[in-house]
Amino acid sequence: MSDINELAAALVQAQAEFSAVPKSSVNPFYSSRYADLASVVKAAQPVLAKHGLAVSQHPTVVDGEPSLTTYLLHSSGQSLVSTMRLCAAKHDPQGQGAAITYARRFAYQAVLGLVADDDDDGNRATAVKQAEPKPRSPADVARTDLAAMLKAKKLDMGVVAKRFADDYGMDIREADKETVEAFHTVMRDE
C-alpha cells in the first residue's frame, strides 16, 4: 500500500462528521427498510467534498469474473482501491445491473465506514414531535401496492420475491416503478 497519510487524515475527519444513513426505501416483501444507493451517496457527498475526498466505482473483469472496483480518492492524489466479485442472480443485463447496484451500495458504505441505521437522533427519548414522513418514491409505492395485492391473494412474499428475481434478473427492491407494475399485472392476472 502506498503512503496514504493525507487521505487517512481526511477520512478520519470525514468519519467524525458522518451520521447514520437514513433507511428511506421500503422492501414490502420483507417488511423492512433499507438505505438505497442514492441515499448513501447523498448522505456522504457533502462531507466528502469538504475534506477533499471522492469515491469512484467501476465495473470491471478480474480473472474472467465480473467485478466492481471502488476507489477512495483524496485531492492529494493518494487513494485506496478495493475490488469485489459481483454475484448476479441472473446472467443478463438486468441481473448484472442489479448486482452492480448492490455492490456499489455496500462497497461505498464499507470504504467510508458508513452505516445505515434507524437513528431517530433521540427524538423518542426526548418526546420531540416527529417530522413529517418523507415522500416515498413511485417505485416504493408500486412495491407496497404489489405487496398488498399479494397478501390479499395469500401468496408467500419470499417465493414471489425469488420469482421476480428469476423473471427480471434483479432484486425487486432495486426495480423501477414500471417493472414493478408490470410484475403486479402478471401476478394479478394469475
**pLDDT, tens digit, 9 for 90 and up, residues 9-57:** 999 999 999 988 888 777 777 777 888 888 899 999 999 999 999 999 9
In a domain, 104, yes or no: yes
Q: Please name the residue that has the C-alpha cell 403486479.
A: 184
How many structural domains are present in the chain?
A: 1
Domain that holds residue 61: 5-120+136-189
Angle of helix 5-17 relative to helix 37-50, nearest 10 degrees, comes to 120
In a domain, 125, yes or no: no
In a domain, 19, yes or no: yes
Q: For 168-185, what is each residue's pLDDT tens digit?
A: 788 888 888 888 888 888
Long-range contacts, 14-17 (Cβ 8 Å, 24+): 14/47, 14/48, 14/50, 14/51, 14/53, 14/112, 15/112, 15/113, 17/47, 17/50
For the chain, percent of residues with pLDDT exceeding 90? 39
Q: Which of 40-44, 96-100, 128-132, 161-165 has the lowest mean pLDDT?
A: 128-132
In a domain, 130, yes or no: no
Q: For 123-135, what is each residue's pLDDT tens digit?
A: 444 444 455 555 6
In a domain, 37, yes or no: yes
In a domain, 94, yes or no: yes
In a domain, 127, yes or no: no
In a domain, 43, yes or no: yes
Q: pLDDT value at position 121? A: 37
Beta strands at 53-62 and 32-34: parallel, antiparallel or unpaired: unpaired
